[in-house]
Amino acid sequence: MLYYCWANGFALNYRDKLVVIIMKILYCIPTLGNGGAERQLSYLAGELQRTGHEVHIASSRGGPNLDRIKSAGVHWHRVGGVSNRDPVIFLRLLRLMRKLKP
């Protein structure tokens, strides 16, 4: 039986072999506007990218937090749509998830 200690995206098993765990993460949010959730997502995504994970954010529109996201190296995908209830957004998200396989 193997025992793992998780820290900063790495797992160390009992045989002292370093196993790197890299996750592909996709966050979906309506916009990257001035709100608190958008700001916190930009901080979180930047830190996850910095620790070695592959982070993607999908939104219908950009906003003031987009610069912070792009400067951190996070991949941004614009899914468009006329409003938040536009069925085109769902189809584009589905296509993106099939492409990225997060």
Three-class secondary structure of residue 8 per DSSP? coil
Burial class (CB within 10 angstroms; exposed 0-12, middle 13-18, buried 19+) of 59: buried
Instruction: Give the Å distances, CA to CA, from 48 to 32, 74, 85, 92, 94.
Output: 18, 9, 29, 24, 23
Mean of the pLDDT values across residues 45-67? 93
CB 21 within 8 A of CB 52: no
How sure is the predictor about 25, in pLDDT bands with cuts at 50, 70 and 90?
very high
Picking from 1-5, 26-30, 35-39, 80-84, which range would have the lowest pLDDT averaged per residue?
1-5
Write the pLDDT tens digit of every residue in 70-93: 999 999 999 988 888 899 999 999
What is the pTM for the complete model shown? 0.80
